[in-house]
């Protein structure tokens, strides 16, 4: 919720000069140790809030995390507020990094969403920052009439400056490593693309001859069976067995040839030639087409649960490549199901980008109730040729291909899995806020 919902005189932006008059090196070191500590995010947050409460015992501290562009969720507070607060969303009061907001009881936003938790409060202090790719807002509630005149105010502003400096440092480091990793990954895929193109070419040539000969042989066999049926010849058991076994062998041969074709097709994804041009596409169409291509295989082993949304989900990209990703992921989910009650869930939704007004992020979730992936394998599943499947069930290219394609579309893909419970794949793609007809509109 933007500042426009509050009157201009209510929001007082705090300048950097107000935050530099309380040097306390020991406190700063202790705070930075907590902010830069390894371990779970929630543990770090709890330690941070405990330290803040110990340092500022006379104020109420509430830490919010951005749920969307206009909504916050309460993740921690000192002292603890009612548990009900953690189950609901709160509107954003201000987009300023650090500010005080006065005369809160004159604001309908405050009265509707916050006043029941903080009765009688007329002023609050807000500090917002990015930390580890997440957007946080720290709210300070005090009974004082003017928090800027309180003895703790300067030290609190000093604390906010430390947090902001650490967050900028962490963002810089993360960006640097992401760029270095991206360059390394692109070089790896470029080398792999050259290798894959050569291998695919060498396999495709003999495969074309084999496939042609197979089709001819299969046609001859069908003619032979038709001739025997029309002639009324009575065959002994040995001949009947040969005919039936030959038919089974031809069927298995075709399955093996199509598997080879599928593997070669996967290799060709690393080759970036002749991919066409990017265009505006509706992900609903991409998903429907992909599911129709594997529906026959799915119907024998699992139920698909997918409700096509009413509104379009537009992105800029290559529809064939995105279809291939969805096919890979659905087939992977199918192959992980080893029981008779298999289910594959697909869900498509969107949210506004937290820090980019006018843009939105599209989320595609593909989830199954299969055997899951061991935790030790989760860090390697996107490596080319790494597979947890038995020999013959896959070449270990599906997920590496999916990651390459999604990143090519400026998106992200992540996987969560629990053994014997199932696997969830989350794809994030930059969406079009509106249909403009332009290929580069976001």
pLDDT tens figures, 205-220: 788 888 888 889 989 9
Widest CA span of the chain, in angstroms? 107
Q: Judge whether 341 lies within some domain.
A: yes
Q: Judge whether 176 lies within some domain.
A: no
Specify whether 221 is located in the same domain as 159.
Answer: no
Rounded Cα gap, residues 382 and 415, in angstroms? 10
Specify whether 151 is located in the same domain as 12.
Answer: yes
Q: Judge whether 246 lies within some domain.
A: yes
Confidence of residue 7 (pLDDT cuts 50, 70, 90): low
Specify whether 163 is located in the same domain as 190.
Answer: no
> If we measure between CA atoms, which residue out of 395, 157, 404, 155 comes closest to residue 271?
404
The dihedral sign for the CA sequence 31, 36, 38, 40 = positive
Rounded Cα gap, residues 212 and 203, in angstroms? 14
pLDDT for res 387? 64
Report how far Cα 74 is from the mean position of its chain's Cα atoms. 22
Specify whether 191 is located in the same domain as 332.
Answer: no
What letter would DSSP give residue 23?
A: -
Specify whether 115 is located in the same domain as 206.
Answer: no
Confidence of residue 391 (pLDDT cuts 50, 70, 90): very low
pLDDT for res 344? 93
Quote the domain boundaries for residue 113.
3-167
Are residues 115 and 105 in contact, defined by beta-carbon separation less than 8 angstroms? yes
> Span 393-418, mean pLDDT?
79
Q: Judge whether 180 lies within some domain.
A: no
Specify whether 137 is located in the same domain as 226.
Answer: no
Specify whether 212 is located in the same domain as 298.
Answer: no
Give me the helix-helix angle, 41-55 and 25-35, nearest 10°: 160
Q: Is the pLDDT of residue 182 over 80?
A: no
Q: Judge whether 274 lies within some domain.
A: no
Q: Which two tokens stand for residue 377?
A: 């394998």
Q: What is the CATH number of the domain that holds 129?
A: 3.30.450.40
pLDDT for res 168? 80
Are residues 422 and 367 in contact, defined by beta-carbon separation less than 8 angstroms? yes
**Per-residue CA distances from 74 to 66, 95, 440 (Å):** 9, 17, 36
Number of domains in the chain: 3
Specify whether 288 is located in the same domain as 425.
Answer: yes
Q: Is the pLDDT of residue 14 over 70?
A: no
Q: Judge whether 234 lies within some domain.
A: yes
Specify whether 148 is located in the same domain as 214.
Answer: no
Q: What is the CATH number of the domain that holds 348?
A: 3.30.565.10
Q: Judge whether 173 lies within some domain.
A: no
**Cis? peptide before 5, omega within 30° of 0:** no
**Per-residue CA distances from 188 to 184, 192, 193, 378, 383 (Å):** 6, 6, 8, 20, 10
Specify whether 261 is located in the same domain as 283.
Answer: no
Backbone angles phi, psi at 126, to 5 degrees: -120, 140
pLDDT tens figures, 343-375: 999 999 988 766 565 678 899 999 999 988 888
Domain end marker among 247, 268, 289:
268
Q: Judge whether 441 lies within some domain.
A: no
Specify whether 34 is located in the same domain as 125.
Answer: yes
Domain end marker among 133, 167, 201:
167
Specify whether 238 is located in the same domain as 287.
Answer: no
pLDDT tens figures, 91-114: 888 888 888 888 888 888 888 888
pLDDT for res 392? 43
> Span 41-58, mean pLDDT?
86
pTM (whole model) above 0.75: no
pLDDT for res 436? 43
> If we measure between CA atoms, which residue out of 51, 75, 58 comes closest to residue 138?
75
Domain end marker among 248, 268, 288:
268
């Amino acid at each position: 919720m933007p500042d426009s919902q509050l009157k201009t005189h209510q929001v007082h932006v705090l300048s950097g000069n107000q935050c530099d008059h309380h040097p306390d090196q020991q406190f700063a070191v202790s705070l930075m140790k907590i902010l830069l500590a390894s371990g779970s995010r929630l543990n770090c947050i709890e330690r941070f809030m405990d330290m803040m409460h110990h340092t500022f015992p006379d104020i109420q501290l509430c830490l919010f995390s951005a749920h969307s562009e206009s909504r916050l969720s309460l993740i921690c507070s000192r002292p603890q507020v009612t548990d009900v607060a953690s189950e609901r969303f709160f509107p954003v009061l201000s987009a300023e990094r650090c500010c005080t907001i006065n005369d809160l009881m004159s604001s309908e936003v405050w009265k509707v969403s916050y006043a029941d938790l903080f009765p009688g409060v007329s002023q609050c202090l807000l500090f917002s920052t990015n930390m580890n790719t997440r957007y946080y807002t720290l709210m300070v509630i005090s009974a004082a009439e003017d928090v800027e005149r309180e003895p703790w105010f300067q030290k609190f502003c000093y604390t906010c400056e430390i947090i902001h400096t650490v967050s900028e440092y962490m963002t810089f480091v993360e960006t640097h490593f992401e760029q270095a990793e991206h360059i390394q990954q692109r070089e790896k895929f470029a080398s792999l693309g050259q290798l894959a193109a050569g291998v695919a070419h060498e396999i495709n040539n003999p495969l074309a001859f084999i496939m042609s000969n197979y089709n001819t042989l299969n046609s001859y066999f069908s003619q032979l069976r038709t001739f025997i049926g029309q002639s009324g010849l009575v065959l002994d058991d040995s001949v009947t067995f040969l005919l039936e076994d030959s038919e089974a062998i031809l069927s298995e041969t075709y399955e093996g040839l199509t598997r080879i074709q599928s593997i070669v097709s996967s290799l060709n994804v690393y080759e970036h030639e002749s991919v066409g041009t990017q265009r505006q596409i509706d992900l609903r169409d991409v998903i429907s087409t992909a599911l129709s291509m594997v529906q026959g295989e799915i119907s024998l082993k699992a139920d698909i649960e997918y409700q096509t949304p009413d509104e379009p989900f537009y992105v800029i990209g290559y529809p064939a490549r995105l279809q291939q990703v969805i096919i890979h992921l659905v087939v992977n989910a199918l192959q992980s199901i080893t029981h008779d009650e298999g289910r594959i869930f697909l869900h498509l939704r969107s949210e506004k980008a937290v820090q980019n007004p006018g843009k939105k992020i599209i989320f595609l979730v593909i989830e199954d109730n299969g055997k899951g992936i061991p935790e030790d394998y989760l860090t390697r599943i996107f490596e080319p040729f790494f597979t947890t499947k038995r020999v013959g069930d896959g070449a270990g290219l599906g997920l590496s291909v999916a990651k390459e394609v999604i990143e090519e579309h400026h998106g992200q893909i992540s996987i969560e899995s629990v053994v014997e419970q199932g696997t969830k794949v989350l794809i994030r793609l930059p969406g079009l806020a509106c249909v403009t007809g332009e290929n580069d509109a976001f």
